[in-house]
Amino acid sequence: MKKSFIAILLTLFAVSALMATPCVAADVIKWKMQSAYPSGDATYDVHSVRAAKLIEEASGGKIKVELFPPGALCSVKEMANAVGAGMIEMAAIYGPRYAGRVPVADVEGGLPFTWTSMDQVAELFWDPKYNMIDNIRKAWASKGVFYLVPNACGSYPFLTNYPVHKISDFKGHKIRGMGASGEWLAKAGASPTPLPGGEIYMALKLGTIDGTPFPPMILETLKLKEVVKYITFPGLVAPPQTCIVINMDAWKSLPEDVRKKLTDPKTQVEFYRANGEAYKARDDEALAAAYAYGIKSFTMSDEELRKGRKLAKSVWDKVAKKDKYSKEAVETLIKFMTAKGML
């Protein structure tokens, strides 16, 4: 009898242990995150890794974010849809790639010849006078996506195989460009050529294109310093921006205090600046290596920048007509640039 009683106790203990295990595991919620950029690129190594850590820390460890490279969970082309549908909870993307779905993404990613520093973006996005991030969030929310924060990606100079000193120097040349950037290039007299990043090296080597706007880091990561001869600053926009987005249901599942912590303007600006400086450090390293390799750089004059901005105005106006969110974003942008004496 005593043995039977002990056996029953042991059985009950084992069952209790098995039942308790799922409860412990349930305390941690796993999120999947995909980056549109591979390891080796700062958008993956810095922005994505830090964003995952930010979520985990803000949730007190209740959320565990597993980071995946591009294509691991879905194609880069489908990432915005995948986040909206809840296939993945979180992503690091280049918004303008999805401007057909969310037109205001062209604005938040950086329209040609608009802001010129992280300080300007911080003021435009988070200062109560402008607070452009609220409008951007409303636009993405209409697609089931929460726009968490932009990521500053250094600068966006022109990397070319011929010298560019003036806006008129683009005329007749084939320059990689898509979306609003491509439209500006066309107005400058260039032939905008859409091209995936992975094909830039051979396109420059074979003469399929004469140049591309891109963060300098690519000179190292894609070895473009071997096929580029000149760099022209400040380029189309500085900084261009990727962003961190979250599925709306996943976002709403977070406790209110966690959401407030993650969207606190001071926290967001600090996160934005720190990530931007880390990205810029990689750009600076790539530029130093490029100059040592023999690449030459130029900086456009203020007069040329005014010419570029004048051409860009019609591109901004076209973007503003796409939907109500784009209209408000462009109006806010123009208000900001006017106040800064840029127009």
- Looking at the structure of the chain, the number of domains it has is 2
* 5 falls within a domain: no
* 19 falls within a domain: no
CATH of the domain at 117: 3.40.190.170
Tell me: do 120 and 206 sit in the same domain.
no
* 17 falls within a domain: no
- The Cα 56–Cα 31 span in angstroms is 10
* 20 falls within a domain: no
- Taking only the tens place, the pLDDT of each residue in 274-312 is 999 999 999 999 999 999 999 999 999 999 999 999 999
- The Cα 171–Cα 188 span in angstroms is 6
* 191 falls within a domain: yes
Tell me: do 162 and 149 sit in the same domain.
no
Look at residue 232 and give its three-state secondary structure: strand
Mean pLDDT of 242-255: 98
Tell me: do 201 and 73 sit in the same domain.
no
pLDDT at 198: 81
Q: Which helix (H) or strand (E) holds 76?
A: none
Residue 219's domain comprises 158-238+295-339
Tell me: do 327 and 227 sit in the same domain.
yes
Name the band, by pLDDT with cuts 50, 70 and 90, for residue 197.
Answer: confident
* 197 falls within a domain: yes
Tell me: do 196 and 248 sit in the same domain.
no
pLDDT at 40: 87
- The Cα 184–Cα 111 span in angstroms is 9
Tell me: do 314 and 207 sit in the same domain.
yes
Tell me: do 226 and 279 sit in the same domain.
no
Tell me: do 131 and 91 sit in the same domain.
yes
- In the chain, % helix, strand, coil (3-state, to 5) comes to 55, 15, 30
pTM above 0.85, yes or no: yes
* 105 falls within a domain: yes
Name the band, by pLDDT with cuts 50, 70 and 90, for residue 168.
Answer: very high
Tell me: do 231 and 112 sit in the same domain.
no
pLDDT at 27: 82
Tell me: do 210 and 136 sit in the same domain.
no
The bridge status of strand 145-152 relative to strand 241-247 is antiparallel
- Taking only the tens place, the pLDDT of each residue in 312-340 is 999 999 999 999 999 999 999 999 999 99
- The Cα 206–Cα 181 span in angstroms is 23
pLDDT at 10: 43
Tell me: do 323 and 174 sit in the same domain.
yes
- The Cα 272–Cα 307 span in angstroms is 30
- The Cα 185–Cα 324 span in angstroms is 26
Q: Which residues pair with 32 in a beta bridge?
A: 66
pLDDT at 13: 43
Tell me: do 149 and 186 sit in the same domain.
no
The alpha carbon dihedral of 338, 99, 212, 72 has a sign of positive
Name the band, by pLDDT with cuts 50, 70 and 90, for residue 26.
Answer: low
* 115 falls within a domain: yes
